[in-house]
Chain A
Amino acid sequence: MGVNPAPPAGPPDPPPPADLSVPGFISPLQSALPDAVTQVSYWVGDWTMIVATNRLLDVMRHLRTAQEASFDACCDVTATDWPPRAERFDVSYALFSTRHRHRVRVKVRVADSQAVPSVTSVWPSANWLEREVFDMFGIPFDGHPDLRRILMPDEWQGHPQRKDYPLEGPGEMLLENPMDWLRLRYEP
C-alpha cells in the first residue's frame, strides 16, 4: 500500500475550455454585481460559479429574477468537507430554470462555524435542504426561519458527514453509557 497520500485540499474546479461559449446569464451577472463571482468553472457539462459568501444573497436574487437567468427552482443544497483547507466547506446550490431549462451550480466556501446567508427568502424549498446541511455538517445558516436538526435526533452530538466523523458513529461510549454521552452536550 505504501504511504497514504495527503488528503485532498479541494476540488479541481477547472476553468472552462477556451472554445466553449459561456452561458448567457453569467456575463450580465458579472456586470450587475462586479467582484461577486470569484471563479467560473466547467466540468463534464456542468457550469459552476464560485461566489463570495457575503455576496451570496445578491447573486441568488439576481439569478432568481433576471430575465435571462430566471432560476426559479433550487433543486439541491449540499456541502462537501475538505478538512485541510482553511475554508473547509464547499456549500453548493443546484439551480434549475423551468423557463430556459438550464442549470447552474453556485458554490461558496466557508470556514468551520462560519455562517452562510440563508436563501430561504429566495426559494422556500431551501428550508429543509439547509436544515440537512446544518445537521450533517454543522454549517449555520443566517436568517433561516427554523434551523434545527432534521435527520439525526435533536440531542445528537457531532455532524456525521464531516470527514473527521467516524463511519461507526460516536463509538463505544454511546453504546455503553448513553447517559454520559448525552450529558457531554450540556457540560462542556
Chain B
Amino acid sequence: MSLFDTDELVINMGPQHPSTHGVLRVVLRLDGERVVGADVVIGYLHRGIEKLSEHRDWQQIVMLTDRMDYVSAATSNLGYCETVEKLMQIEVPRRARYIRTILSELQRIASHNLWLGTHAMDIGAMTVFLYNFRERELILDLFEEFCGARLTYSSMRIGGLPLDIPSGWARKVSAFCDLFETKIPEYEDLLTHNRIWKERTRNIGVISGADAIAIGLTGPPLRGSGVPRDVRKDEPYAAYDEFDFDVPIGSAGDIYDRYLVRLEEFRQSLRIIRQAIAGLPEGPVVGKVPRLIKPPAGETYHAIESPKGELGFFIVSDGRSNVPYRFRVRPPSFCNLQALPRLIKGHLVADVVAMIGSIDIVLGEVDR
C-alpha cells in the first residue's frame, strides 16, 4: 500500500473565474500540481450570430460583427465589409482604404493594450494594467470622435465608411502616436527584464512552428513560434500593400516570446499609422454601391489579420434574397483556444492562467 494517494485529481476552473477572461470553463486533470490533461468547455456565450446573420440584411450584419470580438470591433467590421465587397466586386476608394487601415491599427493597439494589462494582472503585475488602460482610453476617445461609440463601433460600411473623419482628427491621431511611443518603454521597464515576469513566462507553453501551424494557431501566438505568417503581408487587404512594416517573430515559442512579439507590434502599428496619416489621399470615402445590396450568387472566403489572428469570413449568396444564404466566421480566438490543452500539458496549475492570457482570447468571438 502506498503512502500517498496517487490518483489523478479533476478540478473545474471556471466558467466564473477572474482569469479566464469571460465564461470559459477548463476541466483540469491534475497529478499533484502538474496538469496531465485538460478539457476546454465553451459555448456559454453562444448567441447564434451566424444563424442570426442569415436573417438580417447585408448592412445590418455590420452591427452583429461588433459583438463578436467586442474589444476589437473595427477589425471585425473590416473583415465582413471586405468579404461582401469581394463578393460584389466593389472598388473601395483609396481614402477609405487608408482610413480603414488607420482604424484597424488603432484597434490593434487598443486590443493589445487590453491584452497586456489583463495578462500581466493574471500573473500578478497589477501596475501594468493601469498603465495600459490609461492609453487604451485615448484610443477609445479617438474612436468616439470618429463614430460616436466607444466599444461597438459599426465603423465601416459595405463599400467604404459611414462618414469622413472629423476635421483635426488626423492631427490628434498623430499626437497620440507620439505620446504612445513614449509609453511603450514604460511597459518594457515594468516587464521585459522583470525577474518574476521572466520566471513566469519563459519556457512555459513552448510550441514549435510546425506544431503551431498544424494545431491551427494564427496571429501573435504563431509568430511567437518563429513563423512569419501575417495576412497583412501574405494577402494584403485595405491599404497594407502601400506601407512599409515588419512582421516581428519570436524564436522560443514560449509565453515570453509571444509577449515580445506583441510589444513589437505596437511599434509596427505606429509605423503604419504614421505613414497612412502622412499619405492620406483626398477623395470620397464611399465607392459606387448599389442602394439595394444583393451580391450575385456565389461563395467566397476572405481573411484579414485581426489582433488575435486570422479572422476569416465565408459567405454564400444565393443571388436573389437580401440576406446571406450562409454566413460563417472563422474566429481566431476559437482556433487558438483549441491549442490550450496541448500547451498546458505538463505545466503547473498556476501556469494555466498565464497560458490562457498568452493566447489572447475573447469569449464573445469564441462562442459567437
Pairwise interchain contact B335-A128, C-beta atoms closer than 8 A:
yes
Interface flag for A18 (CB, 8 Å): no
Most interface-central of A5, A14, A80 (chain B CB within 10 A): A80
Pairwise interchain contact B312-A167, C-beta atoms closer than 8 A:
no
* Interchain nearest-CB distance for B309 vs A (Å): 10
Interface flag for A8 (CB, 8 Å): yes
Interface flag for B131 (CB, 8 Å): no
Interface flag for B51 (CB, 8 Å): yes
Interface flag for B297 (CB, 8 Å): yes
Kindly list chain B residues whose C-beta atoms are within 8 Å of the C-beta of A75. 216, 218, 301, 303, 310, 312, 330, 335
Interface flag for A178 (CB, 8 Å): no
Chain B residue total in the interface (Cβ 8 A):
43
Q: Given the complex of chains A and B, what is the CA–CA distance between A88 and B210 in angstroms?
A: 36
Nearest residue in A to B86 (C-beta to C-beta)?
A44
Kindly list chain B residues whose C-beta atoms are within 8 Å of the C-beta of A161. 50-51
Nearest residue in A to B301 (C-beta to C-beta)?
A94
Pairwise interchain contact A152-B43, C-beta atoms closer than 8 A:
yes
* Interchain nearest-CB distance for A69 vs B (Å): 15
Q: Residue B214 contacts which of A101, A125, A136 (CB distance < 8 angstroms)?
A: A125
Pairwise interchain contact A128-B330, C-beta atoms closer than 8 A:
no
Kindly list chain B residues whose C-beta atoms are within 8 Å of the C-beta of A5. 320
Pairwise interchain contact A43-B312, C-beta atoms closer than 8 A:
no
Pairwise interchain contact B214-A124, C-beta atoms closer than 8 A:
yes
Which residues of A in the span 63-98 have a Cβ within 8 Å of any Cβ on B?
72-76, 78, 80-81, 92, 94, 98
Kindly list chain B residues whose C-beta atoms are within 8 Å of the C-beta of A94. 301, 312, 314, 330
Pairwise interchain contact A128-B316, C-beta atoms closer than 8 A:
no
Q: Mark B186-219, 1 if CB is under 8 A from A, else 0.
A: 0000000000000000000000001001111010
Q: Given the complex of chains A and B, what is the CA–CA distance between A164 and B310 in angstroms?
A: 31
Kindly list chain B residues whose C-beta atoms are within 8 Å of the C-beta of A123. 214, 216
Given known contacts A150-B42, A151-B43, A76 and B312 CB-to-CB distance under 8 angstroms: yes
* Interchain nearest-CB distance for A125 vs B (Å): 3
Pairwise interchain contact B328-A78, C-beta atoms closer than 8 A:
yes
Kindly list chain A residues whose C-beta atoms are within 8 Å of the C-beta of B218. 75
Pairwise interchain contact B335-A129, C-beta atoms closer than 8 A:
yes
Kindly list chain A residues whose C-beta atoms are within 8 Å of the C-beta of B299. 11, 43, 46, 48, 80
Interface flag for B229 (CB, 8 Å): yes
Kindly list chain B residues whose C-beta atoms are within 8 Å of the C-beta of A124. 214-216
Q: Given the complex of chains A and B, what is the CA–CA distance between A73 and B46 in angstroms?
A: 26
Q: Given the complex of chains A and B, what is the CA–CA distance between A67 and B343 in angstroms?
A: 29
Interface flag for B34 (CB, 8 Å): no
Pairwise interchain contact B46-A76, C-beta atoms closer than 8 A:
no
* Interchain nearest-CB distance for A101 vs B (Å): 5
Kindly list chain A residues whose C-beta atoms are within 8 Å of the C-beta of B43. 149-153
Interface flag for A12 (CB, 8 Å): yes
Kindly list chain B residues whose C-beta atoms are within 8 Å of the C-beta of A16. none
Kindly list chain A residues whose C-beta atoms are within 8 Å of the C-beta of B86. 44-45
Kindly list chain A residues whose C-beta atoms are within 8 Å of the C-beta of B318. 8
Q: Given the complex of chains A and B, what is the CA–CA distance between A102 and B281 in angstroms?
A: 31
Kindly list chain A residues whose C-beta atoms are within 8 Å of the C-beta of B316. 11, 80
Q: Residue A125 contacts which of B55, B87, B215 (CB distance < 8 angstroms)?
A: B215
Pairwise interchain contact B334-A44, C-beta atoms closer than 8 A:
no
Q: Mark B45-88, 1 if CB is under 8 A from A, else 0.
A: 01010111001000000000000000000000000000000110
Q: Residue A151 contacts which of B298, B326, B338, B367 (CB distance < 8 angstroms)?
A: B367
Given known contacts A8-B318, A92-B314, A98-B213, A152 and B46 CB-to-CB distance under 8 angstroms: yes
Q: Given the complex of chains A and B, what is the CA–CA distance between A4 and B210 in angstroms?
A: 51
* Interchain nearest-CB distance for B59 vs A (Å): 19
Interface flag for A62 (CB, 8 Å): no
Kindly list chain B residues whose C-beta atoms are within 8 Å of the C-beta of A129. 216, 335
A–B pairs, 23, beta carbons within 8 Å: A8-B325, A11-B297, A12-B298, A43-B298, A43-B299, A44-B89, A46-B300, A73-B214, A75-B218, A76-B314, A76-B328, A78-B330, A80-B299, A80-B326, A101-B235, A103-B301, A124-B214, A124-B215, A128-B334, A128-B338, A149-B43, A153-B43, A160-B48
Task: List the 4 closest A-B pairs by CB distance, nearest first.
Answer: A125-B216, A151-B43, A76-B330, A8-B318
Q: With A75-B312, A160-B51 given, can you name 17 additional A-B contacts, CB distance below 8 Å?
A: A8-B325, A43-B300, A45-B86, A73-B214, A73-B216, A75-B216, A75-B218, A76-B301, A76-B330, A81-B326, A94-B312, A94-B330, A98-B227, A103-B301, A125-B338, A149-B43, A165-B51
By a beta-carbon cutoff of 8 Å, the part of chain A in contact with chain B is: 5, 8, 11-12, 14, 43-46, 48, 72-76, 78, 80-81, 92, 94, 98, 101, 103, 105, 123-125, 127-129, 136, 149-153, 160-161, 165, 167
